[in-house]
């Protein structure tokens, strides 16, 4: 009976782990036509704020005479999670679905396309750098790149 109970418990835990490893993603690359481009931009800014707060907390906790390592780890994990979410929005939403490849023969459209790609790449790189550091200057650069992408994507007439 003990073996059956252990086997059943292990099976339930394994089943839970498998099911919980599948994450529901907004707009899973099925062209449903329901897009919230402005929402994604707002989320990028929110993730930057969260990363910046995490960096500040990590820096503050690290200075303590007796650092609370549990809290330090939690802030590091939080910073990592939000940087990853930024990378997911840039990759899964904008690069895979919204920024469409353009022919080089259409000068104006191609310039806009390459500018958007450049800015999205910068966002990806600086999101990665935010995982590697607690330098708040990285979040300032991220904020600037998202702002520039917002204008390159929506145009100058977009309301913020």
Taking only the tens place, the pLDDT of each residue in 28-60 is 566 666 778 999 999 999 999 999 999 999 999
Q: For residue 21, what pLDDT is reported? A: 43
**Rounded distance, CA 135 to CA 141, Å?**
11
Q: For residue 30, what pLDDT is reported? A: 62
Just give the CATH number of 34-154: 1.20.120
CB < 8 Å & 24+ apart, contacts of 40-45: 40/89, 40/93, 40/94, 41/146, 41/149, 41/150, 41/153, 43/85, 43/89, 44/86, 44/89, 44/90, 44/123, 44/146, 45/143, 45/146
Q: Quote the pTM value.
A: 0.79
Per-chain mean pLDDT for the chain: 86
Which two tokens mark 17?
């782990």
Structure-token match 């650069």, residue found:
141
Q: For residue 28, what pLDDT is reported? A: 57
- How much of the chain exceeds pLDDT 90, in percent? 74
Q: For residue 22, what pLDDT is reported? A: 40
Structure-token match 């390159």, residue found:
152
| Helical packing angle, 107-132 and 37-62, nearest 10° | 30
Which segments of the chain have a pLDDT < 70? 1-33, 158-160
Quick one: DSSP state of residue 15? H
**Rounded distance, CA 72 to CA 64, Å?**
11
Q: Show me where the domains of the chain are located.
A: 34-154
- How many residues can be counted in the chain? 160
């Amino acid at each position: 009976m003990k073996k059956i109970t252990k086997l059943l418990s292990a099976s339930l835990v394994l089943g839970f782990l498998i099911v919980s490893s599948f994450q529901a993603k907004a707009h899973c690359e099925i062209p449903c036509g329901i897009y919230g481009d402005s929402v994604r931009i707002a989320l990028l800014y929110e993730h930057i704020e969260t990363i910046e707060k995490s960096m500040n907390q990590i820096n503050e906790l690290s200075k303590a005479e007796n650092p609370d390592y549990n809290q330090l780890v939690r802030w590091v994990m939080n910073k990592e999670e939000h940087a990853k979410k930024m990378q997911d929005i840039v990759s899964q939403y904008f690069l895979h679905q919204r920024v469409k490849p353009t022919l080089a023969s259409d000068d104006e459209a191609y310039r806009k396309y390459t500018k958007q790609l450049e800015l999205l790449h910068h966002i990806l790189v600086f999101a990665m750098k935010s995982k590697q550091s607690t330098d708040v200057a990285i979040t300032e650069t991220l904020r600037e790149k998202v702002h520039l992408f917002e204008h390159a994507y929506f145009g100058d007439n977009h309301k913020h």
